[in-house]
Structure 1
Amino acid sequence: MSRPERNVHIAKSVKVIEWLKTEMLDQVSNLYKGLHQANQSLISDSLASLVVVVYVLARRVGVSYREIDQNVARKLREHTREGHQLEEWYGDLSQLEEYINKR
């Protein structure tokens, strides 16, 4: 790849990363609106969009989908073992871990 092509590639990558960051903020804003309005459809759509943006942003910055999945699984195990409040009160973390493992 010649120097000018490489510079264009780098600039494009930076632009995409910046766009993904703004998309993430936009979806967090939509999530808050959905929560405020008790709009289940907007809440679900915003959360799904956030998951997609997280995976794509990870890939753009050099983190594989597999690495994200492994880190999520590790975090769930750690938090469950350490007695995280969400686990203690509701069992959310072990339920999520079980769901992920069955996929």
Structure 2
Amino acid sequence: MERDLDVATRTRTIEWLKTEVVDQMSRLFKAIWDGSTSRVIDGLAGLIASSYILGRRLGIPYRDLDHAIADKLAKLKQEGHQLEEHYKDLSELSEHIRKR
């Protein structure tokens, strides 16, 4: 019985975190629409934090997620992604993550 409650609690937590990710995305889009830099920063921070915590609740350590992001950026750079070709955004983000 106790194990069933634990599974139910974990499931509810994951479902709640999924709604948090959607809510943060909505807040971010509204902030972009309004042109509020501080609210855009807050929305991005909330979205990133919620995503990391959701990953953790799904059994993905923060470090593994960091490595997956770095790998994804390297793959996109190798494929010649437009943001890399035009602005070098992927290289800059890769460097930022590497220095953390």
TM-score bracket for this pair, using the shorter chain length: over 0.9
Larger radius of gyration: 1
What does the per-residue CA deviation read over 1:21-75, in whole Å, with 9 as the maximum and x for residues that have no partner? 1111111000010000001111100110111111111111111111101100101
Aligned sequence identity (%): 47
Quote the RMSD (CA, aligned, Å).
0.7
Q: TM-score, normalised by structure 1?
A: 0.93
The residue number in structure 2 matching 1:22 is 19
CA distance in 1, matches of 2:74, 2:42: 27
1:29-68 matches, within 5 Å, as: 29-68=26-65
Query: Structure 2, unaligned stretches of length 5 or more?
Result: none
Following superposition, which runs of at least 4 residues in structure 1 exceed 3 angstroms of deviation? Answer: none
Aligned-residue offset at 1:100 = 1.1
Tell me which amino acid in the other structure corresponds to 1:11. Answer: A
Q: What is the TM-score with the length of structure 2 in the denominator?
A: 0.96
What SS class does the counterpart of residue 59 from structure 2 fall into?
coil
> How many residue pairs were aligned?
100
The gaps in structure 1 that reach 5 residues or longer are: none
